[in-house]
Structure 1
Amino acid sequence: MTGDGTRCVRAGLPEETPGAPVPPQLVMASQFHLADGPTADFYGRAGNPTWRALESAIGDLDGGDCLVYPSGMAAISALLRTVTTPGDTVVVPSDGYYLARRYTHDFLTLAVRELPTTPPDARGNLADADFAGVRLVLIETPSNPGLDVCDIAAVVERAHAAGALVAVDNTTATPLGQRPLEFGADFVVASDTKALAGHSDVVLGHITAASPEWAARLLAERTTSGAIPGPFETWLALRGLGTLDLRLARQAENAAALHAALRGHPRVRRLRWPGSPDDPAHAVAVRQMRRFGGVLTIELESAEAAAEFVERSALIASATSFGGLHTTADRRERWGDAVPPGLLRISCGCEDPDDLVADVLAALG
């Protein structure tokens, strides 16, 4: 069973024995019966069968050993705490998720270097940086919200040659769209709040490690720090994962349809989607991405124009997350991203493509 749809649907299922439930089980417990010998569970902070079902499912898709966390930022912060010590140098993307940058600057005693994913002159970016003396390189590809794509293999080669570890934020791509560990990355981090859970009703994150040794260290850190998810949230994510293949297919179909409809539109100043052959990131994206996802960005003439567009739309909700069933738009400059005021990140949902295109064109006027 190697197809994406089959793997998603079968993910986390209990053992097929008479009387066993067909769907994954929700185990709500803080205590477990103890035995004199080793036992899988003894206390709710240390482990839970529902966690392990989701971790097994995501680990299979990512290709490594997975641990789940109560949010994407909890995963990123746990990784940083585990692999660095005070005074280490870390590299973070200057055009990636703003809270990841803020955390490294404000809450850790680290030397932080910010590098763009792909600057306009294609020099000085993550793929050709000097990583001498660096402990960890964190990249986000496609970047959020710009949707630039970083050459994972190139970064890994340079970073490993300098003795640095590499972590890839894979939130936008998801495990079905991109498998960074196959390109030599040491860790994958992601916010599963987005497309992986997919129903806009859970906050969750994960780390997948290429090395069992690093996974063991991360597990020890999680158990000690208490940065654990709730069983119900992990069960919701496991339920959502079953339809990931189907949802991504429709979301990407909608993104392609919107991109085609908006290319050359007089009100759209900039349009980005890595799946388009004319996108600046496409050449790299097509080498390492299996799917291009449902997120695209458009730039209108002003913040007021962006707000009017969303207000006029009947199908697009103004919301700051992405990857859900409903199409949403977020004006990222409001959060402090260094982007034009009229730039919108549009997360395509699962509506009919014709309906979504008609709605967007009507909203643009």
Structure 2
Amino acid sequence: MSSISIRQLEVSYGSGVKVIDGLDLEIPEGSFFTLLGPSGCGKTTLLRVIAGFIHPTRGSLSLGAVDMTRMPPHRRGIGMVFQDYALFPDKTVFDNVAYGLRARKLDAARIRQKVGEYLERVGMDGFADRHPAALSGGQRQRVALARALAIEPEVLLMDEPLSNLDARLRLQIRTAIAELQREIGITTVFVTHDQEEALALSDQIALMRQGRIEQLGSPQAIYQSPSSTYVADFVGSANLLAARVLEQTDADSVAILVAGQSLLARTDGPLEQPSVHLVARPESIRLRAAGQANGNSLDGWIHRKQYLGNRTSYSIRLTDTQRVSVDRFGPDDGGFLEGQPVSLEFDPQHVRVVSR
């Protein structure tokens, strides 16, 4: 297995627009690393640079200690799983998985052994004689995964492999991918626009924006400590409230004014401008009867209440223009009613201020 090292990478197309703009990245050996972001952010371009399908305009790419910047794809020791499976329709499952092994001129006995091993690992050992047309979407993706892994690559690349599956199959294949990656320990780079997939699968996530990495970190860090409103809004559900700094109380804490009321929140350091945003996840806010909060709270009233089975969701109006979403989980919603005045209690460690 290999780590991946990227230095000052740029990719520009004919118009001169930089799709990847001066990107530096280290992907640890054996990790499950996700490139996350909306369409057009550069994540698939970056994956294709790693695969060797696109050559960078500038910069370098290394797998382990080997510079791969200009090396052709077939010499990189990389396996790839595509969004549309890319199976050969005229070949059986066995022959699809064996394709890369035959290209490497393994003997027939070794090919049979390895194809059987990897089909078993992905739960497809009883389907060797079928053609792709006779398989479901989830089964085709398992075959594509077996084909990529059978050559025992240094790195596995996955380009939105779950996007063509229905919700139930997505969860099944996601679980299978996670278990297999941990079992084999292969360095994996996974591209998706689905933040739930990224949170569920990854050791690290790079959230991309316009050819750059907006934030890099563990799923917990990306979700709990977003560095900007872009990150907070893209990953999960978040309340983003306009606020003004009143006082920097210490290095990582700040007093702010929100909807005419003061509140304490955390920050990553000194704030250079008074206008900021408060980031608060709906599940991190406690809903209390008016006047019953234990400090650090905002007052408002319930504009809308929705029962959603596993949770009750509230829209709390602070002013005519500012609202806060609050989620209460479980069967007991506290008996709160629409139109009722309430207090919103914030733990200063679970709400943060961002300046952009």
Same fold (TM over 0.5): no
Q: Highest Rg: 1 or 2?
A: 2
Would you tell me which structure has more helix in proportion to its own residues? 1
Query: Given the two structures, how large is their TM-score scaled by the length of structure 2?
Result: 0.27
